[in-house]
Amino acid sequence: MNIKSIKSEFPIFRQKTPAGTDLIYLDSASSTQKPQSVIDSITEFYSSHYANTGRASYWPATESTRQVEQVRKNVQQFIGAKSETEVVFTSGTTDSINKLANSIFNSDLWKGRQIIVSEMEHHANLVPWQIEAERHGLNLVAIPLLDSGELDLVAYKELLEKPTALVAITAISNVLGTINDVNKICRLAKAVGAITFVDAAQLAPYAGVNVEYLCCDFLSFSGHKLYGPTGIGVLYGKQDLLNQLPPFAFGGGMITEVDIEGSSFRDSPFRHEAGTLNIAGIIGLGAAIDFVEEVGFETIQSHEDELTIDLLNRLADIEGLKILGEQDRRGPLISFTIDGLHPHDLSTYLNESGICVRAGHHCAQPLMKKYQIPASTRVSFGVYNDMNDVEQFIKALKGAYEFFL
Amino acid sequence: MNDRLKSLYQTVILTKAKDKKFVGQLESYTHSITAYNPLCGDKYELQIIVEDDVVKSLKYNGSGCSISKASTTVLCEKLEGCNAQQVLSGIAEFMEIVDSDASRNAEEITKNEELLAFAAAREFPERKSCADLSWKELQKQFNQLFPYHSKE
Ligand SMILES: Cc1ncc(COP(=O)(O)O)c(C=O)c1O
């Protein structure tokens, strides 16, 4: 698949926006557009072999079950897990973290220890831990940010001197774009016996995932940020840990024996997948993984890096514009503020040129407070973006300067 | 520049957003209202002096987009000196102006150009919450400001 013509794989770009322009989509960090192959896989499933999975021995149930288990294997390979039993389907990263936090901290076993997150976490990788910490008497602390937008790993090491139950960290910040040294963070945590969780929502679509390399116990990502459908995500966990954890939810499909007096539960992954799965979502996720693997992460990364570097250089010349973070390693996104021009006014202005950017606090209020800004504008790239998108954006940005300032 | 944008960001809005007349702190006040939109982060604190059932004075501080800022300025301008009944009808009028489901045209509601500027929010539903942020919060807190006033 040629990266230059990849936009044509995404039907949404064939139409004009209500403003009569081409769609210039610069919000992939929020959610990516879908290639035809993903859309087709879902249509095909509903039209040709739809049935519930796992419970029936008739066709088409056998076929849908086979496909779901095939996707599980594909996910296993995609993330470098040891076994497909380490792949639990959830509805997304937020869902994964809530379930995991709730299951790990289901008792007061960890009382008095701490949970370490960082100041750059998305609310999804902060609030669920915060709530469990409150419920079960743990202390939640955050690795501070350096002015560069990187994590202060010296401070992190100091935090680790206190008894630590778990470290939950994002691989790439959805606001700053910072790529964290997850391998190091997890190894340090492991050395003190802490459980590790990696939020790979932004990493997965940019560089793929390798749980072996990242050295984590648990990890999650969302299908919809990886060119796949909404409502599907993955929680990876080490097999023995997943089998020890109390089930995330209870109901059909996850039990071995049920009596009125009590029940026993299956092993992972079924243990944690109560009820009917998002089967179409799983099949769409499978098609999305096929898609990114066909394009190849080397290609995706170098393409998106090129756009990011180009945009960074152009933004550097613009007066009154301040880029958040000056880290060396940056994922495919840039957040910035402009003196006297509010992000929402800018994004409304850009929308009239068919340009989609994100304005707001990006679900990372502690980070925004740290930078003492109420909101910022974020541009993020996906495989379908090209230099023309960057040019149109810069042109419209200059127009906004003239209009507002 | 396109006409839709022009209608949203009329001179009125851009001017009122930069207008500092009501920006600041009152030395003392009877009520403080915080208007906050958690989805976008816009946040204003309105300080109000209510005396003898009349809004004597208002000031605001905080941050947000030009639409929410302009609308907060206009709120202060329009409601300063108003009694409970006038505040109530002022809010109702503004809410109708920005409401895309309203049955009346904005021009039928008011002839006031500064208020009419916000009618453009009808074309930008995603910006309605900016336009009515402070007004809506004031509406919610109305009973606090005027405890003896019945809405009937
Ligand atoms: C770093 C990060 N973590 C978690 C999430 C939450 O993902 P989802 O909304 O798919 O659950 C996001 C989405 O914006 C994110 O960027």
pLDDT tens digit at each of 405 positions of chain A: 788 899 999 999 999 999 899 999 999 999 999 999 999 999 999 999 999 998 788 999 999 999 999 999 999 999 999 999 999 999 999 999 999 999 999 988 999 999 999 999 999 999 999 999 999 999 999 999 999 999 999 999 999 999 999 999 999 999 999 999 999 999 999 999 999 999 999 999 999 999 999 999 999 999 999 999 999 999 999 999 999 999 999 999 999 999 999 999 999 999 999 999 999 999 999 999 999 999 999 999 999 999 999 999 999 999 999 999 998 899 999 999 999 999 999 999 999 999 999 998 889 999 998 888 889 999 999 999 999 999 999 999 999 999 998
ipTM of the complex as predicted: 0.88
The DSSP H or E segment spanning B63 is: strand B54-63
Superfamily of domain A3-35+297-399: Aspartate Aminotransferase, domain 1 (3.90.1150.10)
- pTM greater than 0.90: yes
Q: At residue B152, does pLDDT exceed 60?
A: no
Residue of B65, B124, B128 for testing the chain A interface, max A β-carbons within 10 Å:
B65
Q: Fill in the amino acid letter for A245.
A: L
Within 319-378 of A, beta carbons closer than 8 Å to B belong to 342-345, 348-349, 352, 359-361, 365, 368, 374-375
Distance A377 CA to ligand 1 centre (A): 17
Between chain A and chain B, the number of residue pairs with CB atoms below 8 A apart is 49
Q: Which of A363, A365, A378 to mutate to test the pocket of ligand 1 (most atoms within 8 A of CB)?
A: A363
Q: At residue B11, does pLDDT exceed 90?
A: no
Name the one residue in this structure whose structure tokens are 């419970």.
A55
Q: Classify residue B125: in a domain, yes or no.
A: yes
Confidence at residue B1, expressed as pLDDT on a 0 to 100 scale: 53
Q: Is B127 close to A348, i.e. CB distance below 8 A?
A: yes
A311 within 8 A of A65, measured Cβ to Cβ? no
Scored b (16 or more CB within 10 A) or e, B78-103 reads bbeebebeebbebbebbbbbbbeeee
Euclidean distance between the first and the last CA atom of chain A, given in angstroms as a whole number? 43
Q: Classify residue B151: in a domain, yes or no.
A: no
Q: At residue B20, does pLDDT exceed 90?
A: yes
> Which CATH code fits A39-293?
3.40.640.10
Tokens encoding A43 = 């249509």
Euclidean distance between the first and the last CA atom of chain B, given in angstroms as a whole number? 46
CA distance A86 to A135: 28
Question: Where are chain A's structural domains?
Answer: 3-35+297-399, 39-293
Pairing status of strand A355-356 against strand A24-25? parallel
Count of other CB atoms within 10 angstroms of residue A46: 11
Range of the domain at B121: 3-143
Chain B closest-CA separation from residue A96 CA (Å): 23
Which atom of ligand 1 is nearest the CA belonging to A95?
Answer: 11
With CA atoms as reference, the chain A residue closest to B14 would be: A404
Interface residue B36 vs chain A (CB under 8 A): no
**DSSP structure class, residue A155:** H
**CATH (domain of B77):** 3.90.1010.10
CA distance A377 to A229: 25
Confidence at residue A88, expressed as pLDDT on a 0 to 100 scale: 98
Q: Classify residue B84: in a domain, yes or no.
A: yes
CA distance A394 to A315: 8
Specify the number of domains making up chain B: 1
CA distances to A23, A161, A356, A378 from A389, in Å: 9, 47, 10, 14
CA distance A201 to A16: 29
Q: Classify residue B85: in a domain, yes or no.
A: yes
With CA atoms as reference, the chain A residue closest to B6 would be: A403
Residues near ligand 1 (Cβ within 6 A): A 30, 92-94, 122, 124-125, 170, 174, 199, 201-202, 222, 224, 363
